Amino acid sequence: MSERRNLDLNALRQALEQERHDLLATSAVAANGRRPVELDQQSVGRLSRMDAMQLQAMAQAVDSRRQGRLQRIEGALQRLDDGDYGDCADCGEDIPAKRLAIDPTIALCVTCAV
């Protein structure tokens, strides 16, 4: 519990909410790149279509990572709301403040994460 006294939970909440807002905005802007690639042989050649499909796959992979980060942020915000923030989700021990400073969405202590 002493580790959590070193954390400014209000500042942490604001940072997490800002990151969530930024990720959602980025996802909305990037939605065009994840659309299905249309098959139109007359306006797009085979190689151009392959390039477009590769770009689409990369955009989908980036969005998948973005969605994973959003889920971790939502989990951290929920733990803040529940009063469980800073407790390991597996063993219940305190997660060191330095570990939370590196990534505030961490839900496991070092021992349980291994």
Q: Three-state SS string across the chain, please?
A: CHHHHCCCHHHHHHHHHHHHHHHHHHHHHHHHHHCCCCCCCCCCCHHHHHHHHHHHHHHHHHHHHHHHHHHHHHHHHHHHHHCCCCECCCCCCECCHHHHHHCCCCCCCHHHHC
| pLDDT value of position 29 | 80
Please state, in angstroms and rounded to a whole number, the distance separating the CA atoms of residues 89 and 107: 6
Please state, in angstroms and rounded to a whole number, the distance separating the CA atoms of residues 43 and 94: 59
pLDDT in tens, 24-34: 998 888 776 66
| pLDDT value of position 86 | 92
| pLDDT value of position 34 | 62
Low-confidence ranges of the chain (pLDDT < 50): 1-2
| pLDDT value of position 1 | 45
| pLDDT value of position 93 | 93
| pLDDT value of position 14 | 95
| pLDDT value of position 8 | 86
